[in-house]
Chain A
Amino acid sequence: MTSLSVDGLTKRYNHGRPALEDATFRYEGAGAIGYLGPNGAGKTTTLKLLTHLLRPTQGRARINEIDVTEDPKHALADVGAVIETPEPYPSQTVREAIEMVAEFRSGDLARAGSEIRDLNEKLELPPLDQRTGRLSKGQRQRVVIAAALIRDPRVIILDEPTNGLDPKERILIRNLLRELKKDHLILMSSHLMQEVTEICDQVIFINQGKILLRDSVEHVATRFQTRSVDAEFATPIVVDRIRALGPVVKDAVVVGERRFRITFDGSNDARAEILKGLVSLGPVLSYSNSSLMLEDAYLSLIAANGGSAGS
């Protein structure tokens, strides 16, 4: 079964503070894991240790039960990775860059052609005979993602995969990852809470080299449940009428023209009750969490850990 695990993984540069300290986690089967933390938290260090770009000071990283440091060739056999900002050799064409990866993963180049065509459709790659040195950042990122996915590796490790992409390209990648997670194991770091919420089932929070929390997105959302919702009406409403809806509403404030922020106890029952009450007051145009659930959790955890989440 596909698996990805780290056990007591530690990386220290030049005897300073560990960039990663005693990280331990294990995932099996299919799904997507979001790896969240501010800049310098240790996210990329972990991903580099998993892909043999760094060597651990202590501990082990294993992919499909094979130790990455001891046998990187076989550990990475079923891994597609995009770490930092990879660049194919500028003199290679898009096709050659992807073919090179295919060739190292499996000698059978005959099948690579149809796979490249398939990836070309999914990722809207630039012209295949264009030199990669002449690609824009977004185009190059799509090419390296295509190269990571060629030969359909079961484990996909991505370091901020939509970094540098325009909104259309981000949606493209997001949809692809949502599709892939059904039968692949994806570990992706990201700064974008929205992205992690939309793609991932599990989440790991890390700060200052230490893992703070590992759980499912659903549990984290419940644990750090948002305690306010935003509602927008089609017609003007007096805010006191919302406050008068009952004990489920702790408070309500005006945040815009016909928009209100309503504070409550955070439970789903109360959320449903409030919506019911709002609809009785007038036509409701929108009703949503006032902030993203993971963002709440992220800020709360980082603040509790004494770190800055400014990034």
Chain B
Amino acid sequence: MDSATLPSDVTQWFSAFQRQIRFYFRTMRFVGLLGFVTLVSVAAMAVAIVYGSSATSASDYLYGILGNLPTFGIIVGAFIGGDAIAMDSGGTGYFTLVLPVRRLVLLLGRYAAAFLVSFVLLLVFYAFSIFGAAWLFGAGSIPWTDVGVSVGFAALFALATLATAFLFSAFFRSPAVSMVVTILVLFLAFLFIDGLLVLTTVEPWFSLLYAGEIMALVFEGQPHLTSTTLNGPRHLTITTYHPYLWEGVVILLVYLVVSLVLSAVLFQYRELKG
């Protein structure tokens, strides 16, 4: 065996991809999340069918139900990608990182596997949502072009979320800590900040959750800025922003590129000092 018989980067990328897919199935992460998404989707659909929906059309229904997709997508991304690099910090790093494979190839193989698994989970959510819309408003009422665009945005959202999760995982040496911090930051921190910002006039252009709204906004355009003043002992003005579609795409692209490049650099220069 010598360097002449080494598999190409593409072959090794595919090996890393396959192994990571198997890892997601073997650790029950995929099955667990699939159960979660099925449960949530069926419950939302059942409530709409049994108790009736306030939606006036299939587009309106899809706008409402897919409004939850950013939150769900972030949970999926954090669980799937939250330890992707940290998993090679301890003993497993000593097993894997001495192999004749570029770290970038390992990272991209895992990233592709994480994307496939996350995207399948998002598609399951879409499938149940479309089924619910078809049940309530008829199969002919489904706006398939908008669905296609929304699914494209969902793919971009998954790629951006996973890249961010990979970046977090590059900072930590414990897979468990890495995953917990990723979930806390991506999910709770963004939710908290977005919640606070409605009391200000600051547009949350830096938030993944905010950018992810475009997956639902495809179905029903919303004004970019809405201000509502609540009457009470103190007049409280709530400012709600909705991203322009192009704006959401740009935010997601920036997250994707910056996070992925930084993850690759951190992984490349990571040392196992132990």
Contact = CB atoms under 8 A, between A and B. Distances in A.
A212 to B, nearest CB: 24
B1 A86 contact: no
A89 B87 contact: yes
Contact of B100 (A77, A85, A96): A77
Interface in A52-68: 52-55, 64, 66
Nearest to B1: A151
Interface string A60-80: 000010100000111111110
Nearest to B271: A54
Interface in A96-115: 96-97, 100-101, 103-107
Contacts of A78: 1-3
A52 B1 CA distance: 19
Contacts of A97: 95
Interface stretch (B5-13, B144-152, B165-173, B197-205): B5-13
A85 B91 contact: yes
A76 B101 CA distance: 8
Interface residues of B, number: 32
Contacts, number: 107
A147 B95 contact: yes
B228 interface: no
A258 B51 CA distance: 98
Interface in B106-156: none
B92 A154 contact: no
Contact of A77 (B3, B15, B272): B3
B189 to A, nearest CB: 30
B94 interface: yes
A88 B2 contact: no
A118 B17 CA distance: 28
B6 A74 contact: yes
Given A55-B269, A100-B19, A73 B94 contact: no
B7 A107 contact: yes
Nearest to A140: B91
B229 interface: no
Contacts of A154: 1-2
B6 A83 contact: no
B90 interface: yes
Nearest to B16: A104
Contact of B95 (A55, A64, A86, A107): A86
A28 interface: no
Interface in A15-61: 48, 51-55
Contact of B98 (A51, A88, A89): A51
Contact of A88 (B11, B95, B269): B95
B102 A83 contact: no
Contacts of B97: 52-53
Given A78-B2, A107-B7, A87 B92 contact: yes
4 tightest A-B CB contacts, nearest first: A87-B91, A86-B94, A77-B3, A86-B95
Interface of B: 1-3, 5-7, 11-12, 15, 19, 22-23, 26-27, 87, 90-95, 97-102, 269, 271-274
10 contacts: A77-B2, A86-B91, A86-B95, A87-B90, A89-B95, A91-B23, A97-B95, A104-B7, A105-B99, A153-B1
Interface of A: 13, 48, 51-55, 64, 66, 72-79, 81-89, 91-92, 96-97, 100-101, 103-107, 144, 147, 151-154
